[in-house]
């Protein structure tokens, strides 16, 4: 059984879509842990309903960075986590965690990377930037997490049109549907060991 952890700061809609897909597709995988930098995120309600352990870990609560990282790694090891999925987690993952789970951390970004990524590019900021750029398409990207914001190898992408009368809110709603479609597929590929990395390129095994 492949064991997963989710990191989420908010309502956790992608966390919910992945958890539902794992059960519906009867995959040999399950979530064992949810970690949040916030004490009462919406995602915690999803975890409680599914019997998934929830832990609030915020770096500000620790005396130093090393103690914070030790606690993160302790919880991940305690719950025997194989893969980490970021689901609206608004903090940088420490490099020590990225190295410990090398090529085993997935993230979803609400744009077509490598465009419209980087620090500060989350939520409505992304969609506003897309609209203001004049792009005719946007979409979502699932990528492997590395030690920078939104620069890891791309696993899956899909697109949506950008309409002339779009607002950040309307574009976000359209992109979210794509997120909920491709993120569970990417996690399915991960737990089935069908993702292969070649430098910055990803091969999907069939």
Mean pLDDT by 10 residues, the chain (206 residues): 97 97 96 97 96 96 93 98 96 96 98 96 96 98 96 98 98 98 98 97 96
Give me the pLDDT at residue 156, please. 98
Q: What's the token pair of residue 60?
A: 């500000």
Q: For the whole model, what pTM was predicted?
A: 0.96
Give me the pLDDT at residue 33, please. 98
Give me the pLDDT at residue 62, please. 92
Measured N-to-C along each axis, helices 124-133 and 168-191 cross at an angle, to the nearest 10 degrees, of: 110
Give me the pLDDT at residue 106, please. 98
- Tens digit of each residue's pLDDT (9 = 90 or more) over 20-74: 999 999 999 999 999 999 999 999 999 999 999 999 999 988 999 999 999 999 9
**Active site (catalytic) residues:** 109
Contacts by 111-116 with C-beta closer than 8 Å and gap 24+? 111/138, 111/139, 111/140, 111/141, 111/175, 112/137, 112/138, 112/139, 112/140, 112/141, 112/157, 112/159, 113/141, 113/143, 113/150, 113/151, 113/154, 113/157, 114/150, 114/151
145 contact partners, CB below 8 Å, separation of at least 6: 84, 86, 93, 98, 105, 106, 107, 152
Q: What's the token pair of residue 81?
A: 């986590």
Q: What's the token pair of residue 4?
A: 């997963």
CATH fold of the domain at 2-204: Rossmann fold (3.40.50)
Percent of the chain residues past pLDDT 70, beyond the cut: 100
């Amino acid at each position: 059984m492949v064991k997963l952890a989710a990191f989420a700061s908010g309502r956790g809609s992608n966390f919910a879509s992945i958890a539902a897909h794992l059960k519906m597709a009867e995959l040999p995988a399950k979530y064992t842990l949810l970690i949040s930098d916030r004490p009462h995120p919406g995602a915690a309600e999803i975890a409680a309903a599914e019997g998934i352990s929830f832990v609030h870990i915020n770096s500000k609560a620790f005396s130093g960075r090393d103690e914070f990282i030790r606690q993160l790694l302790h919880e991940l090891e305690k719950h025997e986590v194989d893969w980490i999925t970021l689901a609206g987690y608004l903090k940088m993952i420490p490099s020590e965690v990225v190295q410990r789970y090398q090529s085993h951390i997935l993230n979803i970004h609400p744009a077509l990377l490598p465009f419209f990524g980087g620090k500060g590019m989350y939520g409505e900021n992304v969609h506003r930037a897309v609209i203001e750029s004049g792009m005719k398409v946007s979409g979502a990207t699932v990528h492997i997490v590395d030690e920078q914001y939104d620069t890891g190898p791309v696993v899956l992408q899909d697109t949506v049109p950008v309409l002339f009368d779009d607002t950040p809110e309307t574009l976000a709603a359209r992109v979210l549907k794509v997120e909920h479609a491709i993120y569970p597929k990417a996690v399915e590929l991960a737990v089935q060991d069908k993702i292969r990395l070649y430098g910055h390129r990803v091969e999907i095994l069939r």
